[in-house]
Structure 1
């Protein structure tokens, strides 16, 4: 029984008191095209073109000083979030990206790794980021505080942005869907059209939010290299 509006996002299926809903996170692995087919399918070719485009863009953001294969981290991150966002649009599939448990688990270790690497290997470079170029001497202490706070809240903003966008669309679809049984046939047809349009919008949001998460993570890493 749904106790409140946000209960639709709660894990419910379990075996031996172990939540099974989180296994939906790994369903995306089944969608990855096999890399050893003799004749690649169209789906395989399209996905390869997407990955190559992302690789070039992330390589440009990271710059020439980045390590080889570093873009694979962010391409994998994009793929994981994209699959989970799309799977959440299907009925009776748990949306793991609508929970801070997953999004913060993705954002926090990445940010910590960047910070530890930057402060150990490029300490002076990290200090220069705390004071933007051209800042008056009287404002420097305030800028250090502001930049430090903005740096600390980065993983939180990454996680909350993805979670909030996923929850907002799903809540709207759920609210409109629950009003269906009490409506007349004419209004119900309008509701179905609205639901389809919202589903298209949510599909676009699923792509955009996974891209934004990966790009912002790339930009954060480019500051410490």
Structure 2
């Protein structure tokens, strides 16, 4: 029984005094052996096609002087976020991406590595990003301040965007589901249909939010070259 509405998203929830909430993050390791089959399965062929499409799309966002293997970082981030978002749709499984501990711990190191690489190796290029082209001289200091603030809050916006979208959908499903016992039979039918529609919407949100997180990370990295 939930003590409050937000207890679903509490990582300290335990079963038999064992904290199993974060186990959903590591369940994906169990499907890795698919790669080792001599004859690839249809799932493997589909997954390779998805990875190839992601590689081509991310490659277009990165500039030609990007290092080899750079796309693997963002493809791996997309796969991890997608898997954890999808696992959260199952009952009684903790959605690890709905907690800032996970999302911010991924967004912050990515952003810090981009900034350190850019300021160390492309200092002049990084300074030019602080002042957009055709900016009047009077507004130069003001634009530098705005660009600096917008750059600093990027890891926070990446983390909060994913967390808020994951919590919002799950919270709406929980609110509607808790009203089921007090409804009439006709209203329960309507509730089940609305829950199915919301679950379909949440399935799309899991893919979209993982895609947005990886694509924005790619765009942030492309600015340091």
Residue matched to 1:13: 14
* Bigger mean CA deviation after superposition, 165-174 or 25-34: 25-34
Structure 1 unaligned blocks of 5 or more? none
Q: Map 1:13-162 onto structure 2 (within 5 A).
A: 13=14, 19-32=19-32, 34-162=34-162
Alpha-carbon RMSD across the aligned residues, in angstroms, is: 1.3
Give TM-score scaled by structure 2 length. 0.96
Residue matched to 2:163: 163
Count of residue pairs the alignment pairs up = 224
Partner SS state of residue 66, structure 1: coil
Give TM-score scaled by structure 1 length. 0.96
Q: Once the 2 structures are TM-superposed, how far is the Cα of residue 30 of structure 1 from its aligned partner? A: 2.6
Structure 1 residue ranges, 4+ long, deviating more than 6 angstroms after superposition: none
Q: Kindly tell me: are residues 32 and 208 of structure 1, through their superposed partners in 2, closer, same or farther at Cα, counting changes over 3 Å?
A: farther
Q: Once the 2 structures are TM-superposed, how far is the Cα of residue 177 of structure 1 from its aligned partner? A: 0.6
| Cα pair 1:115 1:224 within 8 Å, conserved | yes
CA distance in 2, matches of 1:166, 1:139: 39
Q: Once the 2 structures are TM-superposed, how far is the Cα of residue 184 of structure 1 from its aligned partner? A: 1.0
CA distance in 1, matches of 2:22, 2:155: 22
CA distance in 2, matches of 1:177, 1:59: 43
Q: Once the 2 structures are TM-superposed, how far is the Cα of residue 4 of structure 1 from its aligned partner? A: 2.3
Q: Once the 2 structures are TM-superposed, how far is the Cα of residue 20 of structure 1 from its aligned partner? A: 2.5
